[in-house]
Amino acid sequence: MPESKGRASGLVDLPRELEADLIEMGRTFADWNVEGTFLAHSTIEHYRAGLDSAPLFHGFRETLLSTLGGAAGGYAVVRLRGIAQALGIDDRFLRLATAVLAEVATPFQPFRRWPLWKEIGTNLDANPGLSTGTGYNAFHMDLVNATQPPDYTTLLCVRPDPLGGGASILSDARAAVSHLPTSSRSLLADAAYRYGSFFNLSDVGDEYRPFPVLDGRPADAGFVRFTAKMLTESDIDAAHAQAARELADQMVAGQVSFTLQRGDLLIVNQHRWVHGREPLGDGQHTIAPEERRLLLQLFLRNRKYVPVAG
């Protein structure tokens, strides 16, 4: 079970009967097809027909959707460990995980150079604060500088850190905003923030530079556009930087942390929550590269989205 700290967790367990059904499906699902950057509709329908044949899947789907949505929702950890043990985390497992995610929203890959599932390994030479680094990866949303970021980001644990580090951290961004004074929220609504580059992307709109942290839109449509890296890697005036630091402090104060295990699938609703990672365990140089922490990432787009040129 993931170690969990902070508020009530979003753990979603599978009934044993459903797990057994999904293991059998994982052995029979066909390879997926993509249309542009999106999982093909024909593949989604094929997978859905299989999932709907499992008597307990409807109830599981409703639980998952309610965990990710609603005023109190925003993230889920779907524990597929038994399936990972039975199938191994290979193409069969990934087809099944993709089928489950397609019931939340449409899987897609905005980075043109990567396959549908993108590897996030451990690189001892990378900047420690990057997703592939070994240090603290501060709170952020993915593709913060796109006009239409992915609605959900997902992370599948293939291998946890053998040294016990790398806990996932999450925070309810909208709850954090609610604790700020009006003056700070007003500054965060200004288009005064910048971060990152923007190239070789598809279906995430245009570059948003500068952008506001708070866009004033409803929670199901807008974002709290935040990445802690903009405070150290961008030129922001003192007043706007201070407002963002206050928000970062509130995110840390309300954070949830847990350590993903092999087969755990984390789904984060980017309209509501931000995510990050605690440092990996000391001594990564003693671990063989093929045994270091490895995640796979996949993005989801809500059905109502109309693709645009990236």
Phi-psi region of 143 (alpha: psi -120 to 50; beta: other; left: phi over 0): left
**Amino acid present at 223:** F
Give ∠ CA 261-13-121 in degrees, rounded to 5.
Answer: 25
pLDDT one-digit tens code per residue, 150-189: 999 999 999 999 999 999 999 999 999 999 999 999 999 9
In this prediction, residue 9 carries a pLDDT of 67
Q: Which pLDDT belongs to residue 47?
A: 98
Q: Are strands 152-159 and 264-269 parallel, antiparallel or unpaired?
A: antiparallel
For range 46-55, the mean pLDDT: 97
Is residue 79 within 8 Å of residue 263, measured between CB atoms?
yes
Q: Which long-range contacts (CB under 8 A, 24 or more apart) does 46-51 make?
A: 47/95, 47/98, 47/99, 47/102, 48/99, 48/102, 48/103, 50/25, 50/99, 51/25, 51/99, 51/100, 51/103
User: What is the C-alpha separation between 13 and 305, in angstroms, rounded?
Assistant: 29
User: What per-residue confidence (pLDDT) applies to 310?
Assistant: 34
Task: Evaluate if residue 64 carries a pLDDT over 90.
Answer: yes
260-to-73, 102, 265, 309 alpha-carbon distances in Å: 19, 21, 8, 35
Q: Is residue 4 part of a domain?
A: no
Please state, as a whole number, how many other Cβ atoms lie within 10 Å of the Cβ of residue 261: 16
Q: What is the pLDDT of residues 35-48, one digit of tens each?
A: 999 999 999 999 99
Q: Is residue 310 part of a domain?
A: no
Specify the pairing of strand 75-79 against strand 11-12: parallel
- As given in the structure block, the two tokens for residue 68 are 């990710």
70-74, 125-129, 293-297: range with lowest mean pLDDT:
70-74
- Considering the domain boundaries, does residue 3 fall inside one? no
**pLDDT at residue 133 tops 90:** yes
Nearest to 167, CA basis, from 178, 155, 176, 179: 155
Distance spanning both ends of the chain, measured CA to CA: 39
- In the predicted model, is pLDDT for residue 26 greater than 80? yes
In degrees, rounded to 5, the angle at the alpha carbon of residue 81 between the alpha carbons of residues 272 and 139 is: 30
Instruction: Please state, rounded to an integer, the average pLDDT across all residues of the chain.
Output: 93
Give pLDDT tens digits for 179-233: 999 999 999 999 999 998 898 899 999 999 999 999 999 988 999 999 999 998 8
Provide the pLDDT for residue 235.
Answer: 87
In the prediction, which pLDDT does 57 show? Answer: 98
Residue 158 in domain: yes
In a domain, 245, yes or no: yes
pLDDT of residue 306: 53
- The Cα–Cα gap between 60 and 62 comes to 5
Alpha helices in the chain (DSSP H): 16-26, 41-52, 57-68, 81-87, 91-102, 173-178, 182-188, 230-233, 238-253
Residue 148 sits in a domain of what CATH number?
3.60.130.10
Q: Indicate whether 237 pLDDT > 60.
A: yes
Residue 4 has pLDDT above 90, yes or no: no
For residues 300 and 104, is the Cβ–Cβ distance under 8 A? yes
> Considering its fold, how many domains does the chain have in total?
1
Please give the average per-residue pLDDT across 71-84, as a whole number: 92
| Burial degree of 45 (CB within 10 A; 0-12, 13-18, 19+) | exposed
pTM surpassing 0.85? yes
Helix (H, G, I), strand (E, B) or coil at 276: strand
pLDDT in the model for residue 66: 93
- Asked if residue 5 is part of any domain, the answer here is no
On the question of pLDDT at 71 being above 90, the answer is no
**Cβ–Cβ under 8 Å, residues 117 and 297:** yes
**What is the mean predicted confidence (pLDDT) over 76-99?**
97
Q: Is residue 1 part of a domain?
A: no
C-alpha span between 310 and 305 (Å, rounded)? 14
Give residue 75's domain range.
11-301
271-295 mean pLDDT: 97
Q: Is residue 25 part of a domain?
A: yes
